[in-house]
Amino acid sequence: MSTVDRTASVRTVPEHARPLGARIAAGAATPGGAVFVLVAVLLVAIIVANPNFADPGALIRFAGRTAPIAIAAMGQYYVIVSGEFDLSMGAVVATQVVIAGNLIGQDEGRILPVLLLMLVVGALVGVVNGLLTTLLRVPSFIVTLGMMLALLGLVRYLTGGAATGNPVDAFREIGRGGIEGVPVVDVVPYPLLILLALAALAVWSMRRPFGRSVVAVGDSPEAARLGGVSVWRVKTLAFVVSSLSATVAAIILVGFAGVHPSVGQGYEFSAITAVVIGGVLLGGGRGWVLSAVAGAYALELLFVLLTSLDVPSTWRDSVQGLIIIAAVAASARAWQLGRGTAHAPGAPPGPGTDVPTHDTPSPASPDQGTHQGENR
């Protein structure tokens, strides 16, 4: 049998035909899958340090409290995976909190109009960030930093740096209320339900042409452009999603954090930390949106563990900074190793790939970041 004939008889096992355990292990070995293992490890460590945390009610309350930063992380994911940054997220939260506190007041009839206004403001901020970044070609770091300073200056001018306004309790129930009388957990917080709904929407969107385009643009803007993708439009929409997610987080935060202009301070860095813990590659083109959500929970679980171990809260920023450095380095290295293995000469083909049966060169494959499997 010739070498070509022997090669032609080789077929790899399709991914879906592999044993479930092997698929789970392979997923956990990726940067996006490892964060779920990290969440489980941190949860066990906290329960060992504080057994009361294992109570179902305590767990569900923690999940509800963490929902705002998880929602913000999902929005930041879209921007980062497209190859950009959004540093204006915390300022958007503060601006929306001030809008809600001062415009709703004690009139329940104003809730819906003000909610719509907040969404419009959030979308407008995203559009400005996106257009300045894409059409004027100003780096997103500079654009969103400028937007952050502009919004914070406006907030301080309007409030004098003090809490102003007190929205009606019906509005605040969005952030601090829940479905009561649920067996085992007693109450399911509204923020957790909002997070679940938005997470499902995010997963759906990443499987649609828009989601694939976001990943393709982050992986190689020029290749995406040549493939017919409107790069400026995709990146602008990513910024809009980010600002809208900050708006939703602000609506929730009003419920249990009040209307002080400092609400949302540092949210942009917490969201970026959550995204990189989730294995999303800074620079774009790699990552899974649910891993960003898991990264938010891993970050908050780590802070809970430090509190349980009586570590001073003043170390929080230092720990967060070290996490960003370590997570970015580990994620980038893992993706480089994975890509190097896939393209190494003589390396076996990937799952579901047939070996050519003749010597005719096959068409060039698309960039790895544009594969559907990269944006699950």
The 3-state DSSP class for residue 279 equals coil
Task: Sort 116 into a burial class: Cβ within 10 Å, 0-12 / 13-18 / 19+.
Answer: exposed
Q: Is 114 within the bounds of a domain?
A: yes
Determine the pLDDT at residue 175. Answer: 92
Return the residue matching tokens 């109009």.
113
Q: For residue 195, give both structure tokens.
A: 């997070």
Q: Is 8 within the bounds of a domain?
A: no
Q: Is 18 within the bounds of a domain?
A: no
Determine the pLDDT at residue 61. Answer: 93
How confident is the model over 53-97, as pLDDT tens digits?
999 999 999 999 999 999 999 999 999 999 999 999 999 999 999
Q: Number of folded domains in the chain? A: 1
Give the contacts of 357 (CB within 8 A, at least 6 positions apart): 4, 7, 8
Host domain of residue 185: 69-341+368-375
How far apart CA 282 and CA 218 sit, in angstroms, is 9
Contact indicator for 144, 88 with CB cutoff of 8 Å: yes
Determine the pLDDT at residue 9. Answer: 47
How far apart CA 249 and CA 175 sit, in angstroms, is 9
* Mean of all residue pLDDT scores within the chain: 82
Instruction: Please tell me the pTM assigned to this model.
Output: 0.82
Task: Sort 225 into a burial class: Cβ within 10 Å, 0-12 / 13-18 / 19+.
Answer: middle
Q: Sign of the CA dihedral 288, 290, 295, 298?
A: negative
Q: For residue 33, give both structure tokens.
A: 């899958």
Q: Is 221 within the bounds of a domain?
A: yes
Q: For residue 17, give both structure tokens.
A: 């035909």
Q: Is 360 within the bounds of a domain?
A: no
Determine the pLDDT at residue 217. Answer: 95
Q: Is 332 within the bounds of a domain?
A: yes
How far apart CA 157 and CA 151 sit, in angstroms, is 10
How far apart CA 297 and CA 278 sit, in angstroms, is 10
Q: 247-266 b/e with 16+ CB inside 10 Å = b?
A: bbbbbbbbbebbbbbbbbee
Determine the pLDDT at residue 236. Answer: 96
Determine the pLDDT at residue 353. Answer: 36
Q: Is 91 within the bounds of a domain?
A: yes
Q: Is 136 within the bounds of a domain?
A: yes
Contact indicator for 66, 300 with CB cutoff of 8 Å: yes
Residues of the chain with pLDDT under 70: 1-18, 20-29, 31, 331-376
Other Cβ atoms less than 10 A from the Cβ of 362: the count is: 7
